[in-house]
Amino acid sequence: MATNSSNGEYQTTTKPPPTPSPLRNSKFFQSNMRILVTGGAGFIGSHLVDKLMENEKNEVIVADNYFTGSKDNLKKWIGHPRFELIRHDVTEPLLIEVDQIYHLACPASPIFYKYNPVKTIKTNVIGTLNMLGLAKRVGARILLTSTSEVYGDPLVHPQPESYWGNVNPIGVRSCYDEGKRVAETLMFDYHRQHGIEIRIARIFNTYGPRMNIDDGRVVSNFIAQALRDEPLTVQKPGTQTRSFCYVSDMVDGLIRLMEGENTGPINIGNPGEFTMIELAENVKELINPDVEIKMVENTPDDPRQRKPDITKAKELLGWEPKVKLRDGPPYGRGLPLETRSPQKK
Ligand SMILES: NC(=O)c1ccc[n+]([C@@H]2O[C@H](COP(=O)([O-])OP(=O)(O)OC[C@H]3O[C@@H](n4cnc5c(N)ncnc54)[C@H](O)[C@@H]3O)[C@@H](O)[C@H]2O)c1
Ligand SMILES: O=C(O)[C@H]1O[C@H](OP(=O)(O)OP(=O)(O)OC[C@H]2O[C@@H](n3ccc(=O)[nH]c3=O)[C@H](O)[C@@H]2O)[C@H](O)[C@@H](O)[C@@H]1O
């Protein structure tokens, strides 16, 4: 600090900064790690942001076009000095400086990704290309949230990462599952060709607070129907299976993958497997024992079985899920506010 002394000369006095340094709240503050989360206003992305923001050394930038996400999911961080929210569509280039990129931007619920399939493909292909271009320019590590849908309607059960899948390339789900397969290809080509540090997570069905109550995915559908006293719509045959991972476990797995040494792809999911009839019976028992279960027509190419082999996640990341299906709110104890409305009478 420079002061003007009585004899007119400048003297330098040093004073230790208070803790925490006021610089942390100033525009001159530089965090240790600048992290971009694309799709950070969505369901998984906003929980990931919450976790990343817990670390004072992280500065988090979210880029989202709000197609299926919402500012509301991030409201507690808006205005925070280590947080920035950008309305941005990843199909357009993004020029910023970051150290890590969690690339989640993509509609995930089948009703939304089928709504504008060409846009879904653009998001997966051009969007991933743009984020890889950004990673290349600034030397950032990039993690892609791929999906168990890359296994299609799997003929191997449970699915290990070495399984190449059984995917219809021209079906109504192809914009999403083939889009994610191309995104994975792009990740590995940038890795091999340009030395980009990549991480690929193959996420299996995930549930928890902030799922959009009307987004059509089975857990939110059944819970919303049970709360509204409407029949639970089990799509035929009802014997198809899924394995449901609670969102806090998912976020933990994604961060471990980003921070670890393995490129992946690595399955992140809960191996507990349920038929859709079993899921409906669980929701009925836990939320509304009087509700009816109704069989309805299914949509094309619905995978008949899905369960992750998580051997790699256990061995390479030291990760396995902690929350069982019946224990993870909104499903078991304590429905979160986001799915509580409308109230059951
Ligand atoms: N939730 C699951 O069960 C699941 C399973 C497998 C894979 N994933 C993957 O995880 C990621 C997040 O899924 P989610 O469940 O949180 O879905 P979500 O729909 O809640 O979140 C996706 C976010 O991406 C944003 N987005 C979509 N298109 C965009 C674009 N072109 N530019 C910028 N932002 C865009 C949306 O507005 C939203 O905020 C997705 O990549 C999805 O494919 C999710
Ligand atoms: O985990 C994954 O990799 C993928 O899982 C889901 O896709 P899906 O499993 O088809 O998700 P849902 O729409 O929740 O359907 C699950 C099952 O429930 C059934 N279902 C759905 C809705 C409903 O009301 N009733 C019902 O029985 C469907 O037929 C399907 O068999 C996600 O939404 C994708 O984003 C994700 O990539």
Ligand 2 atom having least distance to the Cα of 108: 35
pLDDT tens profile 220-271: 999 999 999 999 999 999 999 999 999 999 999 999 999 999 999 999 999 9
Q: What is the ipTM of this complex?
A: 0.96
Of 163, 178, 215, 242, best ligand 2 pocket probe by most atoms within 8 Å of the beta carbon: 242
The model's pTM: 0.90
Amino acid identity of residue 329, one-letter, is P
Contact 124 CB / ligand 2 (< 6 Å): no
Structural domain boundaries of the chain? Answer: 32-340
- The pair of three-digit structure tokens given for residue 40, joined into one six-digit string: 């950070």
Question: What fold characterizes domain 32-340?
Answer: Rossmann fold (3.40.50)
Least confident of 2-16, 102-116, 143-157, 290-304: 2-16
Q: Average per-residue pLDDT in the chain?
A: 89
Angle at 315 between CA 309 and CA 319, to 5 degrees: 75
Contact 241 CB / ligand 2 (< 6 Å): no
Alpha helices, DSSP H only, in the chain?
Answer: 43-53, 110-113, 117-138, 174-194, 218-227, 247-259, 276-287, 311-317, 337-340
Q: How far apart are CA 230 and CA 193, in angstroms?
A: 53
Model confidence band, residue 6 (pLDDT cutoffs 50, 70, 90)? very low
Give the residue from 270, 272, 267 showing the smallest Cα distance to 254: 267
Determine the pLDDT at residue 337: 32
- The pair of three-digit structure tokens given for residue 59, joined into one six-digit string: 């500065």
SS3 2: strand
| pLDDT mean over 193-207 | 96
Contact 44 CB / ligand 2 (< 6 Å): no
SS3 17: coil
